[in-house]
Amino acid sequence: MADQFNDSIPAVANQITEDVADIAETLGYIKDVFQNIVKTWNNTVATTIYVNKFQDMTTAGNVCLLAVVDIGDWNMDTFDNLAVAHDLIATKIRHVTAIIRNDAATAYYPLPYKSTDAYISNYDATSVNFLRAGAGTFDSTDFNSTSFNRGWIYIWYVA
């Protein structure tokens, strides 16, 4: 696949030192493509990526932008609610959805899940607020780890 970007990258292992410039060029190309797609991002564990534009998604003539926000740690077995900061202007938000994943990261659940097991209750000027049912799918030891990001929030908004 690398030959799509640079045909001169050899496959011989003992030439790695000579390949560094070609690898750097290829990575630079990938970075340029990424920067053309993404408006801003943070180089942190809790990364928020703001996509530049979706030209085909508009509301009243305004182009919708997408922000993807990490949910972060959430022990859903113990806590039935969570507020996640979004850093957007609430009046500019047009749609909010999320995906929850289990502790093993083997199953992913779009919200709302089974209508009342877990859902986004609302959003306000500072956060997206989640609720989960007392005896539903997420009230389980399959969702009690706090060592990783529980999922992602997808927020469509206008500039």
What is the number of domains present in the chain?
2
| Gap between the Cα atoms of 62 and 97, Å rounded | 20
Exposed, middle or buried: residue 67 (CB in 10 Å: 0-12, 13-18, 19+)?
A: buried
pLDDT at 85 (0 to 100):
95
Residue 55 and residue 76 in one domain: yes
- The percent of residues in the chain predicted with pLDDT above 70, rounded, is 61
pLDDT at 2 (0 to 100):
45
Specify the pairing of strand 151-158 against strand 127-132: unpaired
pTM of the model: 0.63
Domain that holds residue 9: 2-40
How far CA 84 is from CA of 31, 49, 59, 125, 154, in Å, comes to 29, 15, 25, 11, 12
Residue 73 and residue 60 in one domain: yes
Q: Is 9 helix (H, G, I), strand (E, B) or coil?
A: coil
| Gap between the Cα atoms of 100 and 83, Å rounded | 14
pLDDT at 39 over 50: yes
How far CA 18 is from CA of 4, 7, 27, 37, 68, in Å, comes to 19, 14, 16, 31, 39
3-state DSSP of 54-77: CCCCEECCEEEEEEEEECCCCCCC
Q: What is the band of 118 on the pLDDT scale with cuts at 50, 70, 90? A: confident
Local structure of residue 88 (DSSP, 8 states): S
Residue 9 and residue 20 in one domain: yes
Residue 11 and residue 49 in one domain: no
Residue 49 and residue 123 in one domain: yes
Local structure of residue 113 (DSSP, 8 states): B
Residue 91 and residue 14 in one domain: no
Residue 35 and residue 11 in one domain: yes
